Amino acid sequence: MFKVDSLEYSYPGNAKKAVDKLSFEVKDGEIYGLLGPSGAGKSTTQKILIKLIKDYKGAITYKDKPLRAYDNSFYEDIGVSFEMPISFSKLTAMENLDFFRRLYKRTVDVEPLMKRVGLWDDRDRKAGEYSKGMKIRLNFVRALINGPKVLFLDEPTNGIDPLNARIMKDMILEFKQAGGTVFLASHIMSDVDQLCDRVGFIINGRIHEEDTPRNLKLKYGKKVVTVEYRENGLLKSSEFSMDALKGEDFAKMVREKQIETIHSGETTLEEIFIKVTGVALHEQQA
């Protein structure tokens, strides 16, 4: 869908590059995640991909055609949710949606969406009276209003409660199952872990590692199993390599000890992230 090659951009009056030699691809029908600390360049990348920033260096293609060659009809296929809640504060939620709905050729019925995110009962309240979480959910509904083919989500679950985050994540997965493509920028590991087919770790405007969340965990994880057990009232733990699991020591422990937990040592994305970030920052300082 989107191919990005050696993208470079710095904001006017800011010498530091917000994105720097950034290359990645968002494939048709996948959820691609950019994961990185704040200030890494995720939002800037999104703003470039949605054509809000135009004076970038490097090549971007959308459906194999240069992004610059598209006119405003590009947006008929695109849904965008920005990092911060955006709405006309003195218009009700429904009036906000109605305003944006009229700007598209193709639109969807908002009632099921608003019900799903739990805003239907508050639909006639002014957006300015919404809580931050409600505004973010309204952002999300607005992004879906034109039945887009590609969805851009910048920190979609930031500031909403776990239950609503779960609902939103389900909706994102359903969007993908229905054939949609998603670009997701986030600094929240669990979002990326649960949603993304592939993830790029972005630090200082550059991708330092990219793969499926599962492969990354295998690559960075230790191939060990940690067993916690209780002996004479004390909590103890032992580590076994994966190969050693067939051996007698492990079997004996399972048979004889009072085991409390068994964990395989795949790292969390969070640990990988800290590792990759640390290495990247170290390399830059050197």
Partner 1 sequence: MNSRLRALIRGEFVRLNRYNLFAASFVVSLFYVLMASFIDDAMVLGVMPFIFLLDSTMMTSLLVGATLFYEKKEHTVNSIMVTPASSDEYVTAKLVTSIATSLFTVVFVSLALYALKGVTYKYAHVIFAAVAVTSLHTMIGVRIAYSAKNFTSMLIGFMLYVTVFMFPSVLAMTGVIGPKLADFLVILPLETSANLMRAGFGPGVEPWKIVFGYLYITALTLLLYFFAVKPRFAEYMMREMGV
Sole binder of partner 1 in the list 50, 93, 119, 195 (CB under 8 A)? 50
Is residue 249 packed enough to be buried (19+ CB in 10 Å), middle (13-18) or exposed (0-12)? exposed
Does 239 contact partner 1 by CB under 8 A? no
Which segment (44-52, 204-212, 255-263, 274-282) binds partner 1 by CB under 8 A?
44-52
Q: Are 153 and 165 in contact (CB under 8 A)?
A: no
∠ CA 213-214-215, nearest 5°, is 95
Q: Quick one: 14 or 258, whose CB is closer to partner 1?
A: 14
Which segment (90-98, 172-180, 186-194, 203-211) binds partner 1 by CB under 8 A?
90-98
Q: Are 33 and 25 in contact (CB under 8 A)?
A: no
Beta bridge partners of 151: 79, 182
Plot region of 189 (φ>0 → left; ψ -120 to 50 → alpha; else → beta): alpha
Q: How far is the CB of 62 from ligand ADP (least distance, A)?
A: 20
- Tokens coding 224: 């060990």
Does 87 contact partner 1 by CB under 8 A? yes
For partner 1, the binding residues in 114-173 under the rule CB under 8 A are 142, 146, 154
Q: How far is the CB of 86 from partner 1 (least distance, A)?
A: 5
Does 70 contact partner 1 by CB under 8 A? no
Q: How far is the CB of 83 from partner 1 (least distance, A)?
A: 6
Site residues, ligand ADP (CB under 6 A): 11, 14, 16, 18, 36, 38-44
Compute how many residues bind Mg ion; rule: CB under 5 A: 3
Q: Quick one: 42 or 142, whose CB is closer to ligand ADP?
A: 42
Residue 196's alpha-carbon distances to 96, 166, 190, in angstroms, are: 30, 14, 10
Nearest to 79 by CA among 110, 58, 57, 54: 110
Which segment (70-78, 212-220, 242-250, 275-283) binds partner 1 by CB under 8 A?
70-78
Beta bridge partners of 73: none
Sole binder of Mg ion in the list 4, 7, 43, 210 (CB under 5 A)? 43
Does 11 contact partner 1 by CB under 8 A? yes
Which segment (79-87, 176-184, 263-271, 275-283) binds partner 1 by CB under 8 A?
79-87
Q: Are 41 and 18 in contact (CB under 8 A)?
A: yes
Compute the distance between CA of residue 200 and CA of residue 31 in angstroms, rounded to an integer. 11
Which segment (17-25, 48-56, 164-172, 263-271) binds partner 1 by CB under 8 A?
48-56
Which residue number has the CB closest to Mg ion? 43
Q: Quick one: 36 or 133, whose CB is closer to ligand ADP?
A: 36
Give the SS3 label for residue 109: coil
List strand residue ranges (DSSP E) for the chain, in order.
2-9, 19-26, 31-35, 57-62, 65-66, 78-81, 150-154, 181-186, 198-203, 206-211, 224-231, 234-241, 258-264
Does 44 contact Mg ion by CB under 5 A? no
Binding residues for partner 1 (CB under 8 A): 11-12, 43, 47, 50-54, 72-73, 75-76, 78, 80, 82-84, 86-91, 95, 99-100, 102-105, 142, 146, 154
